[in-house]
């Protein structure tokens, strides 16, 4: 279990949340991490690991996308208060792999109300790992941007005992989050259970305009594990979550986000000999999503003075498994080989226009679910590390995937109804790494990735003029060069990375005509992270990220590319006290292609630059307890992100039609966390 957790709004409240007596504070405790204003620099080539339990500024995240935006290189396509789509290095959607405890999950909404990160409350996980670029083949097919791993971990306990984490977050606009996680066990077995709840009202921008954005989300998870020795772990886990969320960018809100999950995993590590490690997992994920225009808003009135109530209820079932083995043929050679497979089925039902909310509910609940798309994938992979010398190594991998999709739509809706689309796709990479000094590395790698078009891309019209992109859309093929360095010396830390990619058959959505087409594109950019501990109590941090994209086929800018962004931070820590300041600077973005984009959004036009100033402070009254507070957007600036969605007319809210949704104005927040052994 992760050893860092915080707590806010009074110690008694957090203890009651966990159900723990005050005497529990006498238990062995864990030191807690102060506020994070930019994620730690990469500690190895193209890998960033960060603690999701540490408090962050801006206000601590309540979903996966909000969490990732604090890591340089990430942006978010915003649509209101929750469930944004993460973007890494200008790549979004299925180009970015999201794995929850090694499992893939896909949203059900045809309009991306629920990307995979919508089902993540980051603090309930122990570790988040970001793998940038096509520089690994272990975690799935087509993840050209990279992979994000949200992971829980349990180490074998030496004797019977327990651990507990809990937190409470309060903030402006009704923000109210709670999290609790408890582990009880001994050398042979353990039980772990936890839950989260996150709630907020509509927020206001810097001008006091209300944005339709309220939400309420909850989740719970439980696991039973066996640890017969310090090398073996078997775990059966389950999770359930649900919620509702308002969206300012569309005519409907999400009134249900139910997720059900069951997983069984086995691992045996540090075995020695040729076979050093074996890991296996099978899983089941089911998403049941309802969107309507009446639960969180009042339907618009037509010219006849009547209101029409409508609802849609897609669901999605993903089942899969993975098995891998780590081999050590020689002391200087490690090989990971494995296979994975999954089946993904999407269905939908709806109500159409009804005279009342009750009638709309009754209509869609009585309707039969109709399958519209089915995917199957089988893949094999191998990844190897050769240690040439103590300072030099070569890492490489190869992956082959067999993917089959079937168009299950009715002939009246799709010209390709009943047709199959079968593809064999390959991915691979080769990277050289060299250490210089005790804590520094430089690297260069070439990667190739092939991505099958996803559900949302295939459901559009085709570039051939038909009403289906199912057969006319080619797989996307990316070739990318990654170079960079990680460097540590005394009080200085530096991480720099750059990439250049050429994408053949880049899958572009033309939202003006609601069709999917292939183009050739070039994308390049990089990230820079630096930290300077110039005094035992003072640290300066800075980060910079930039992406440049070009649509070579049309001779235009590649759509949905974030602008240049910098973060400057100053942190103070002395004894139990800490404080910090974060200045986020975003440049203007004049490169766009209006109406073009990806499955999560489209370009609307140019945007101006902006700067946002935020402050935080912390107090650790005991080693196990941390209280933090902050003010985001201190100057109450009115601004919008370049990648944000445009709004629609919603009764009672300011209209953002034909313009981007504004971000929250000044936000005050308070967080308390506790961590006990």
What is the tens place of the pLDDT at every residue in 325-365?
A: 999 999 999 999 999 999 999 999 999 899 999 999 999 99
Phi, psi of 72 (to 5 degrees): -55, 135
pLDDT of residue 39: 67
Residue 44 pLDDT grade (very low, low, confident, very high; cuts 50, 70, 90) = confident
pLDDT of residue 15: 28
Which residues are bridge partners to 486 per DSSP? 441, 495
pLDDT of residue 164: 95
Tokens of 382: 């191998």
Which domains does the chain possess? 11-186+214-676 (2.40.170.20)
Residue 650 pLDDT grade (very low, low, confident, very high; cuts 50, 70, 90) = confident
Tell me what the mean pLDDT of segment 400-429 comes to. Answer: 97
DSSP assignment string, 358-421: HHHHHHHHHSPPEEEEEEEEEEEEEEEEEE-SSSEEEEEEEEEEEEEEEE-S-TTT-TTTT-EE
Tell me what the mean pLDDT of segment 89-117 comes to. Answer: 94
pLDDT of residue 41: 66
260 pLDDT above the threshold of 90:
yes
120 pLDDT above the threshold of 80:
yes
3-state DSSP assignment of residue 24 = helix
- Greatest mean pLDDT among 69-73, 151-155, 430-434 lies in 430-434
Phi, psi of 17 (to 5 degrees): -60, -40
pLDDT of residue 29: 38
Tell me what the mean pLDDT of segment 298-322 comes to. Answer: 91
139 pLDDT above the threshold of 80:
yes
Q: Which residues contact residue 553 at a Cβ distance below 8 angstroms, ignoring those fewer than 6 apart? A: 519, 520, 521
569 pLDDT above the threshold of 50:
yes
Least confident range of 22-36, 143-157, 516-530, 558-572: 22-36
pLDDT of residue 146: 96
Least confident range of 145-154, 301-310, 514-523: 301-310
Name the DSSP letter for residue 18: H
Q: Whole-angstrom Cα distance, residue 220 to residue 198? A: 12
pLDDT of residue 13: 28
Percent of residues, the chain, with pLDDT higher than 90: 85
Residue 658 pLDDT grade (very low, low, confident, very high; cuts 50, 70, 90) = confident
pLDDT of residue 32: 56
16 pLDDT above the threshold of 60:
no
Tell me what the mean pLDDT of segment 632-653 comes to. Answer: 90
Closest by alpha carbon to 152, among 189, 193, 113, 209?
A: 193
pLDDT of residue 24: 32
Which residue is associated with the tokens 């299950």? 408
Residue 300 or residue 7, greater confidence:
300
Tokens of 32: 């807690």
Q: Which residues contact residue 149 at a Cβ distance below 8 angstroms, ignoring those fewer than 6 apart? A: 99, 102, 127, 128, 129, 130, 131, 139
Closest by alpha carbon to 472, among 510, 503, 522?
A: 510
Closest by alpha carbon to 669, among 639, 620, 632?
A: 632
Q: Whole-angstrom Cα distance, residue 173 to residue 63? A: 17
pLDDT of residue 656: 75
Tell me what the mean pLDDT of segment 479-497 comes to. Answer: 95
198 pLDDT above the threshold of 50:
yes
14 pLDDT above the threshold of 70:
no
Residue 60 pLDDT grade (very low, low, confident, very high; cuts 50, 70, 90) = confident
């Amino acid at each position: 279990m992760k050893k860092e957790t915080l707590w806010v709004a009074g110690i008694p409240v957090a203890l009651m949340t966990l159900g723990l007596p005050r005497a529990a504070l006498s238990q062995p405790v864990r030191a807690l991490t102060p506020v994070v204003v930019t994620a730690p620099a990469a500690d190895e080539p193209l890998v960033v690991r960060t603690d999701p339990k540490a408090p962050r500024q801006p206000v601590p995240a309540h979903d996966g996308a909000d969490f990732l935006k604090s890591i340089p290189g990430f942006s978010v396509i915003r649509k209101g208060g929750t469930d944004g789509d993460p973007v890494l290095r200008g790549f979004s959607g299925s180009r970015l792999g999201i794995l929850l405890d090694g499992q893939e999950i896909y949203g059900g909404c045809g309009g991306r109300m629920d990307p995979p990160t919508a089902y993540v409350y980051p603090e309930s996980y122990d570790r988040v790992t970001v793998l940038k670029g096509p520089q690994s083949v272990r975690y799935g097919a087509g993840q050209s941007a990279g992979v994000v791993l949200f992971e829980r971990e349990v180490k074998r306990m030496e004797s019977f005992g327990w651990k507990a984490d809990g937190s409470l977050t309060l903030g402006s606009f009704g923000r109210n989050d709670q999290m609790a996680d408890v582990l009880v066990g001994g050398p042979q077995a353990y039980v772990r259970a936890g839950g989260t709840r996150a709630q907020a009202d509509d927020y206001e921008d810097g001008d006091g305009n209300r944005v339709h954005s309220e939400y309420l989300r909850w989740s719970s998870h439980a696991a039973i594990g066996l640890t017969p020795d310090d090398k073996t772990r078997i775990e059966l886990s389950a999770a359930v979550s649900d919620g509702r969320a308002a969206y300012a960018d569309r005519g409907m809100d999400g009134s249900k986000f139910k997720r059900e999950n069951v997983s069984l995993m086995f691992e045996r590590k540090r075995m020695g000999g040729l076979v050093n490690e074996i890991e296996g997992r099978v899983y089941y994920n089911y998403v049941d999503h309802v969107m309507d225009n009446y639960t969180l808003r009042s339907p618009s009135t037509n010219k006849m003075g009547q209101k029409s109530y409508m609802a849609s209820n897609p669901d999605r079932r993903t089942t899969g498994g993975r098995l891998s083995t780590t081999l050590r043929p020689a002391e200087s050679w490690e090989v990971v080989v494995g296979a994975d497979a999954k089946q993904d089925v999407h269905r939908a039902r709806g109500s159409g226009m009804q005279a009342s909310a009750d009638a709309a509910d009754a209509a869609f609940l009585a309707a039969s679910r109709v399958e519209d798309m089915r995917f199957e994938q089988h893949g094999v992979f191998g990844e190897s590390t050769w240690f040439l010398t103590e300072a030099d190594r070569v890492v490489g991998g190869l992956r082959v995937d067999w993917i089959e999709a079937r168009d299950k739509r009715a002939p009246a809706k799709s010209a390709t109804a009943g047709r199959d689309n079968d593809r064999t796709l390959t991915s691979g990479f080769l990277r050289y790494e060299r250490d210089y000094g005790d804590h520094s590395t430089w690297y260069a790698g070439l990667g190739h990735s092939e991505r099958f078009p996803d559900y949302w891309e295939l459901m559009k019209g085709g570039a051939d003029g038909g009403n289906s992109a199912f057969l006319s859309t080619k797989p996307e093929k990316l070739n990318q060069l990654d170079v960079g360095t990680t460097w540590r010396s005394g009080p200085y830390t530096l991480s720099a990375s750059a990439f250049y990619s050429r994408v053949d058959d880049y899958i572009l959505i033309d939202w003006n005509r609601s069709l999917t087409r292939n183009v050739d594109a070039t994308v390049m950019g990089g990230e820079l992270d630096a930290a300077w501990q110039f005094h035992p109590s003072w640290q300066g941090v800075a980060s910079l990220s930039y992406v440049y994209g070009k649509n070579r086929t049309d001779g235009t800018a590649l759509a949905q590319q974030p602008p240049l962004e910098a973060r400057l931070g100053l942190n103070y820590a002395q004894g139990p006290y800490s404080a910090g300041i974060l200045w986020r600077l975003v440049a203007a973005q004049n490169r766009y292609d209006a109406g073009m984009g990806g499955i999560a959004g489209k370009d609307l036009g140019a945007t101006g630059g902006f700067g946002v100033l935020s402050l935080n402070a912390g107090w650790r009254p005991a080693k196990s307890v941390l209280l933090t507070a902050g003010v985001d957007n201190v100057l109450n600036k009115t601004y919008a992100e370049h990648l944000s969605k445009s709004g629609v007319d919603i009764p009672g809210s300011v209209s953002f039609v034909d313009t981007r949704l504004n971000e929250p104005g000044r936000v005050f927040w308070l967080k308390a966390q506790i961590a006990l052994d």
